Amino acid sequence: MTTLLSKRLAPLIDHAVLAPLATTADMEDACHKAKIAGLASVCVKPWMVLGAAAILKGSGVVASTVIGFPQGGMHPRIKLAESAQALADGARELDMVANLGWVAGAEWTKVADEIRSIAELCHRTGAKLKIILETCLLNDEQKRKLCAVAAATGADFVKTSTGYATAGYTIDDLKLMRESVPEHVGVKASGGVRNLAQAVALLDLGINRIGTGSTWAILEEAAKG
């Protein structure tokens, strides 16, 4: 049962290598472990993508990275260029922070245009786009609207958090997000997933992806029972 649990969890996990002092060696170690565990992806800093993609090639685990991280306020052309470089380097999934200033100011046309341009770029290469809401900074109306805009403009997932704001995911936010997007759009929980109990609760909730830097501890706990 515990082995089955770890096998159910592993394909949902995006293992994060995003700490400020994360090194090339940290990335390489994570990628080798991810191949053995059968994770969904290893989410690395943009400068690590080339190396991660090389290690993960042919494994079924993809290289993913962050765009506009962590506050989303870069110029749209910079975010588009960053996305293009990541895809050229081998990233198959991009986790992009929405422009939170536009969200706060209800400048939804700008939000939509930015997401659409990057979604189209991703889809031309068979890659996927996740939109990070940073839920702890938004009210419920903003969360619902951003989810709806993301879904309408081609996002493949909506994601709670960067893990670098004042708080991470909550169950209430995940339920709100699931209700705010169609079934074909995935929901990713991120920011504060640190133990097996939390991961199992997300599994039971039907969450499509889990972002965490505590992957090995969670899977080891699952294997031990």
Here the tokens at position 217 are 């501890």
170's torsion region: left (phi>0), alpha (psi -120 to 50) or beta? beta
Among residues 95, 130, 143, 156, the one annotated as catalytic is: 95
Cα 184 to its chain centre, rounded Å, is 16
The token pair that represents 213 in the structure block: 């830097």
Per-residue pLDDT at 2: 52
Residues 6+ apart with CB under 8 A from 58: none
Residue 153 near residue 168, CB atoms below 8 Å: no
* Helix, strand, coil tally for the chain in percent (to 5): 50, 15, 30
Candidates 79, 128, 143, 159; catalytic one: 159
All domains of the chain, ordered by start, with CATH?
A: 2-224 (3.20.20.70)
For residues 70 and 42, the answer to whether their CB atoms sit within 8 Å is: no
Place of tokens 């999934």: 93
159 has catalytic annotation? yes
For position 1, what pLDDT does the model report? 35
Amino acid at 119: A
The model carries a pTM of 0.96
Euclidean distance between CA atoms 180 and 222, whole angstroms: 31
Residues of the chain short of pLDDT 50, as ranges, are 1
What angle in degrees, to the nearest 10, is found between the helix axes of 2-9 and 196-205? 70
Phi, psi of 3, deg, nearest 5: -65, -40
The pLDDT value recorded for residue 224 is: 84
Catalytic residue among 79, 128, 143, 188: 188
Q: Reply yes or no on whether 188 is catalytic.
A: yes
Residue 18 burial by Cβ neighbours in a 10 Å radius (0-12, 13-18, 19+): buried
